[in-house]
Amino acid sequence: MADLEGNINAKDFGIGKPQETPGFHVKGAGQLDFGMRHRLGRIFREDGKTVMLAFDHGYFQGPTSGLERVDLNIVPLTKHADAIMATRGIIRSLIPAGAGTPLVVRASGGPSILKELSNEQLAMSMDDAARIDASAVAVQVFVGGEFETQSIKNMTTLVDEGFRAGIPVLGVTAVGKELTRDARYLGLATRMVAELGAQMVKTYYCESGFEEVTAACPVPVIVAGGKKLPVLDALTMAHNSINEGAAGVDMGRNIFQRGNPSAMIQAVNAVVHDGLGAADGHTMYRDLSGGLED
Ligand code: R5P
């Protein structure tokens, strides 16, 4: 391990020079095996971007607001998502198998919101991921958390199993209350996740230096939605994330806690895939929702 003393701050991120991925449209995936690329190709459209709908919150939070009835509130939205992020329990019990929406399946878990969240274990085998036809599996990584090493081990175990099965891994960087969501931290966490083998990283957006976070991460960075924001702010975050190098968003509460979730996911799609500005996306939300502001 390199001596940390005298560490020189990174500064040459080649901003504005996109990383080349010969032969494939997903960042960093050009040299992966066929099955991996085939699955990543379901999640990311030809533009290299994705709109993922996250509703796996129940795995540690129970029936949170907007997710009380996944059959009524979420299933109708899935046709607007490039992929859905959910637990195998919800997928098997409520998601119509015929719908064909690519699945990113939550594969870590353990503690509830009543306990120390970083103490997760693997909660699903790769065999079952294959059985359920997962396009990817998702694992939480708690860089800086109390159980940092255990969560990294969860991820690397899954990455090894994923290579055997041809199933990509989404490493999700979790941010505890005590950790700052700045470019320095997010750059550390996303790069660690990519270096240790995940084929995609999910993380948070930050106002300053996010371009450096995405530039230094050799695989797609997908931005988490986080808590519900005003419509314009959520669309601005999506727009800025894409402009600053993200390969998409994985939004939950900012979609399903809206007055009109269907209108919101369509506006997010237009921002991510069609380059619509945030203000125009806001207008689109109002038009589709019959004038709603929230
Ligand atoms: C993240 O750690 C979990 O996958 C969450 O359940 C999900 O990412 C939350 O989505 P959002 O923050 O957009 O509601």
Task: Give 109's strand partners.
Answer: 121
pLDDT at 3 over 80: no
Q: What is the pLDDT of residues 18-58, one digit of tens each?
A: 999 988 999 999 999 999 999 999 999 999 999 999 999 99
54 Cα: distance to centroid of ligand 1 (angstroms): 6
Check residue 167 and give its pLDDT.
98
Are the beta carbons of 212 and 186 closer than 8 angstroms? Answer: no
Q: Per the structure block, which two tokens stand in for 40?
A: 């990543």
Q: How far is the CA of 23 from the centre of ligand 1 (A)?
A: 31
pLDDT at 121: 95
Q: How far apart are CA 38 and CA 23, in angstroms?
A: 13
Task: Find the mean pLDDT for residues 229-241.
Answer: 98
Of the residues 11, 27, 79, 202, only one is catalytic, namely: 202
User: Best substitution site from 52, 53, 55, 56 to test ligand 1's pocket, by max atoms within 8 Å of Cβ?
Assistant: 56
Q: Cα angle at 29 between 18 and 161, to 5 degrees?
A: 145
The whole-chain average pLDDT of the chain stands at 96
88 and 132 in contact (C-beta within 8 Å)? yes
Which residue stretches of 62-182 are H helix?
A: 70-73, 88-94, 126-131, 148-165
Q: Please give the number of the atom of ligand 1 that sits closest to the Cα of 55.
A: 6
Burial of 69 (0-12, 13-18, 19+ CB in 10 A): exposed
Separation between Cα atoms, residue 142 and residue 39, nearest integer Å: 26
pLDDT at 7: 73
Question: Which of 52, 65, 33, 79 has the alpha carbon at shortest distance from 221?
Answer: 52
Report the alpha-carbon distance of residue 229 to residue 253 in Å, rounded: 9
Question: Across residues 250-273, what is the average pLDDT?
Answer: 98
Contact 181, 175 (CB under 8 A): yes
Q: Of all protein residues, whose CA lies closest to atom 6 belonging to ligand 1?
A: 57
Task: Report the C-alpha gap between 250 and 227 in whole angstroms.
Answer: 12
Q: What is the pLDDT of residues 196-231, one digit of tens each?
A: 999 999 999 999 999 999 999 999 999 999 999 999
Residue 179: pLDDT band (50, 70, 90) is confident
Pairing of strands 121-122, 108-109: antiparallel
Question: Where are the chain's structural domains?
Answer: 34-222
Strands (E), the chain: 50-54, 83-86, 103-106, 108-109, 121-122, 136-141, 169-173, 200-203, 221-224, 248-251
pLDDT band for position 6 (50/70/90)?
A: low
Q: Has 202 been annotated as catalytic?
A: yes
Tens digits of per-residue pLDDT, 84-137? 999 999 999 999 999 999 999 999 998 999 998 899 999 999 999 999 999 999
- Mean pLDDT calculated for residue range 269-287: 98
If one residue of 50, 52, 55, 57 were mutated to test the ligand 1 pocket, choosing by the most ligand atoms within 8 A of its CB, it would be: 57
Can you list the positions of beta strands (E) in 152-270? 169-173, 200-203, 221-224, 248-251
| Percent above pLDDT 90 for the chain | 91
- The H or E element containing residue 115 is none
Q: Is 294 helix (H, G, I), strand (E, B) or coil?
A: coil
Q: 16 in the Ramachandran plot: left (φ > 0), alpha (ψ -120 to 50) or beta? A: left
Please tell me the predicted confidence (pLDDT) of residue 116.
86
For residue 72, count other CB atoms closer than 10 A to its CB.
Answer: 9
CA distance 185 to 187: 5
Residue 252 CA to ligand 1 center (angstroms) comes to 6
Domain 34-222, second-level architecture: Alpha-Beta Barrel (3.20)
Please give the residue that has the higher pLDDT: either 71 or 11: 71
pLDDT-derived band of residue 256, with 50, 70 and 90 as boundaries?
very high
d(CA 256, CA 96): 19
Q: How far is CA 200 from the centre of its chain?
A: 8
Chain segment 180-194, per-residue pLDDT in tens: 889 999 999 999 999
Query: In the structure encoding, which two tokens stand for residue 191, read together?
Result: 């790069």
Binding-site residues, ligand 1, Cβ < 6 A: 54, 56-57, 85, 140, 172, 174, 224-226, 250-254
- Angle between helix 278-288 and helix 261-274 axes, rounded to 10 deg: 150
Name the percent of the chain lying above pLDDT 70. Answer: 98
Q: Which residue has the tokens 């929702």?
A: 289
- DSSP state, 201? E
